[in-house]
């Protein structure tokens, strides 16, 4: 992964599209089946990537190599229990996807990654620097390729737990970021033309 290229793309794509919504405090229960575009999620269409809500999904499509794109919701969260289904209709074994949370700006957020070839990891972007908290590692719980993965992330103060398809992947503590927006992302490595469809997102208090 060429981190510099991914970072530049992420900042550029995050800045485009609709105007940034004003975050608000989330209720105890929030869900979205993406059956319609309520205006809650950022969407955009650029030559390299786009995020759209259509056909019952929030879809992120990337046309270029080493590119990351994400859609942020207008919700500020501190502690939460989030689940979302994600699928790779075009196989996408050389791409990654997942959840961004406690997003403050393009230089400060957490990222929960799943790759199309069955790896997962957890990292922090802080002061424009990447810090790997849990290195990418394999898990038999993750569906490879075009399968659907139900991701779950539980954030309680500085403690985080990560799940795929009902199986716990790991736990870790980090107190660097305490509150911020949530988002969904997709990225490519050395191959282009990735697509990730997100569906059935649900957030409750942990």
How many C-beta neighbours within 10 Å does residue 201 have?
Answer: 22
User: What pLDDT, on the 0 to 100 scale, is given for residue 12?
Assistant: 39
- Taking the chain (206 residues) in runs of 10, the rounded mean pLDDT of each run is 35 42 58 95 96 97 94 95 94 87 97 96 96 98 93 98 99 98 95 93 94
Residue 28: per-residue pLDDT:
63
**Contact yes or no for 33/200 (Cβ under 8 A):** yes
Residue 61's pLDDT is 96
Q: Judging by beta carbons within 10 Å of its beta carbon (0-12, 13-18, 19+), is residue 101 exposed, middle or buried?
A: buried
Domains in the chain with CATH codes:
3-204 (2.60.120.560)
The pLDDT of residue 27 is: 56
pLDDT of residue 200: 97
Could you tell me if 136 and 73 are in contact, meaning their C-beta atoms sit under 8 angstroms apart? no
Residue 91's pLDDT is what? 74
How many alpha carbons lie under 13 Å from residue 45 in its C-beta half-sphere? 2
pLDDT at residue 13, rounded to an integer: 43
Q: Mind listing the pLDDT tens digit for each residue in 157-173? A: 999 999 999 999 999 99
Confirm if 184 and 43 have CB atoms less than 8 A apart: no
> What integer pLDDT is reported at residue 30 of this predicted model?
87
pTM, to two decimals: 0.87
- pLDDT on residue 117: 93
């Amino acid at each position: 992964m060429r981190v510099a290229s991914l970072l530049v793309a992420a900042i550029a794509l995050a800045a485009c599209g609709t105007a940034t919504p004003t975050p608000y405090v989330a209720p105890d229960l929030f869900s979205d089946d993406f059956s319609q575009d309520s205006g809650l999620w950022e969407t955009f269409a650029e030559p390299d990537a786009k995020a759209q809500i259509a056909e019952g999904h929030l879809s992120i499509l990337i046309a270029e190599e080493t590119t990351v794109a994400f859609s942020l919701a207008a919700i500020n969260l501190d502690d939460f229990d989030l689940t979302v289904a994600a699928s790779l209709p075009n196989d996408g074994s050389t791409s990654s996807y997942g959840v961004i949370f406690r997003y403050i700006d393009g230089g400060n957020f957490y990222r929960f990654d799943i790759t199309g070839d069955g790896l997962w990891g957890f990292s922090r972007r802080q002061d424009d620097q990447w810090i790997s908290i849990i290195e990418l590692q394999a898990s038999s719980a993750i569906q490879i390729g075009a399968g659907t993965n139900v991701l779950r992330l539980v954030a309680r103060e500085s403690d985080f737990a990560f799940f795929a398809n009902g199986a716990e992947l790991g736990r870790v503590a980090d107190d660097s970021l305490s509150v911020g927006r949530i988002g969904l992302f997709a990225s490519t490595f050395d191959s282009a033309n990735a697509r990730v469809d997100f569906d059935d997102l649900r957030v409750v208090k942990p």
